[in-house]
Amino acid sequence: MKVTIHDVAAKAGVSIKTVSRVMNNEPSVKQATIDKVNQAMQELHYQPNAAARNLASTKSYSIGYIYDNPNAYYVIDMQRGLLDACRKHGYELLIHPTNAKSPGIVQEVIDLVQHSRLAGLVLTPPFSEMPEIAEALSRINVDFVRIISGSTPSPKQTNCVLVDDFTAAFKITNHLLELGHSQIAFLCGDEEHSSSGERLAGFKAALTKRGIETNPKFIVPGSYSFESGVKGATQLLALANKPTAIFACNDEIAAGALFSARLQHIEIPQQLSIVGFENSPFSRQTWPPLTTAHQPNSIIAQSAAELLFKHTRPGCQNQTDDQPVFIPELLVRESTAPVESES
């Protein structure tokens, strides 16, 4: 027969309410009691059912993750981090792909939360950067945490996990400058993503610090996709004054740029250095492997979920909010080299 919460309570010698408090990670339970209940659940092979708890309680044990991102690796890493945090705290994760540009996106998000009885949401770009989404969720008193591109915690940006794209882009560009490159081009991501603007700003700041003017022809609009990298690099390599290095706004774009260069028989990195951003599998699957910035997306997602649980878990609502800041780290691989000297 299926093991129930009554069996766990009897095995541990505590009340059903105490077992429930342990499963809900309520902070007022003594450690000795927690250990007894956990041991009983382990011996009985009891698996708490979040869906059943949702039905039996006024409290929800599910959080949601909505996304609209063409980068499958980013989405998978986010899901992995959120699932790890949910398992730790006894929550379920509802995953909802959607179109951020849909005219009815705000109502769609509200309907999702209300119909699925979600305790809260984790928002990633572009949803985390849409004020209308945040305002709508606040109006219906739904907890949410945003993962956004930024470097400085601000009182105006509560419940946020920050990714410092500016500093990481500055360091990547500085790496190219230290290799002797001054003719450096930049392939942009989607303009509605703040990360693209922050990375471009970090790129420009590094050039300015060295007294190098940004060449408008070297800044190419695009999207976070392989095809965009191919198109942008082809445009750049058709210029009379070609760049000696390309900074791509993510690894997918960089892989596309590398593909374009290969089609034109340009050797990487001897004739052209290419860098990406995020350290996705794209950066390791290309040849040569890409110099990039390691962005720990799973850990970022876990941090966002932990911040959300401070609001959704009983007894934790009054904890002080922090704003974790992650700075992607430079990873130097074989796609960058000193600039070729002119013969």
For the chain, the structural domain boundaries read: 5-48, 62-164+297-327, 165-294
CATH 3.20.20.140 fits 62-164+297-327, yes or no: no
Q: Note the pLDDT tens digit of each residue in 99-135.
A: 888 899 999 999 888 888 888 999 998 899 888 999 9
Alpha helices in the chain, H assignment, sequence order: 5-12, 16-23, 31-44, 50-56, 72-89, 105-116, 131-139, 165-178, 194-209, 226-237, 251-263, 281-285, 297-312
Tell which wins on pLDDT, 125 or 185: 185
Q: What is the fold of 165-294? A: Rossmann fold (3.40.50)
The pLDDT value given to residue 203 = 97
The pLDDT value given to residue 253 = 95
Read off the pLDDT band of 9 (50, 70, 90): confident
Look at residue 281 and tell me whether its pLDDT is greater than 50: yes
The pLDDT value given to residue 50 = 54
Q: Helices 72-89 and 297-312 sit at what angle, rounded to 10 degrees?
A: 40
Contact 37, 14 (CB under 8 A): yes
Bridge-partner residues for 149, per DSSP?
163
The pLDDT value given to residue 324 = 85
Distances, alpha carbon 97 to alpha carbons 127, 137, 227, in Å? 11, 18, 22
Measured over the CA atoms of residue 91, residue 96, residue 97 and residue 101, the dihedral's sign is negative
Residues 150-157: contacts with CB under 8 Å, at least 24 apart: 150/194, 150/198, 150/325, 151/198, 151/325, 153/322, 153/323, 153/325, 154/323, 157/323
**Homologous superfamily of 5-48:** lambda repressor-like DNA-binding domains (1.10.260.40)
Single-letter code of the amino acid located at 61: Y
| Burial class of residue 288 in the structure, from the number of CB atoms within 10 Å of its CB (0-12 exposed, 13-18 middle, 19+ buried) | middle
* Fold match, 5-48 / 165-294: no
Tell which wins on pLDDT, 115 or 157: 115
**Range from 26-35, 146-155, 224-233, 302-311 that averages highest in pLDDT:** 224-233
* Strand pairing class (160-163; 292-294): unpaired
Residue 286 CA to residue 260 CA, distance in Å, equals 13
Contact 145, 119 (CB under 8 A): no
Contact 60, 308 (CB under 8 A): no
The pLDDT value given to residue 27 = 65
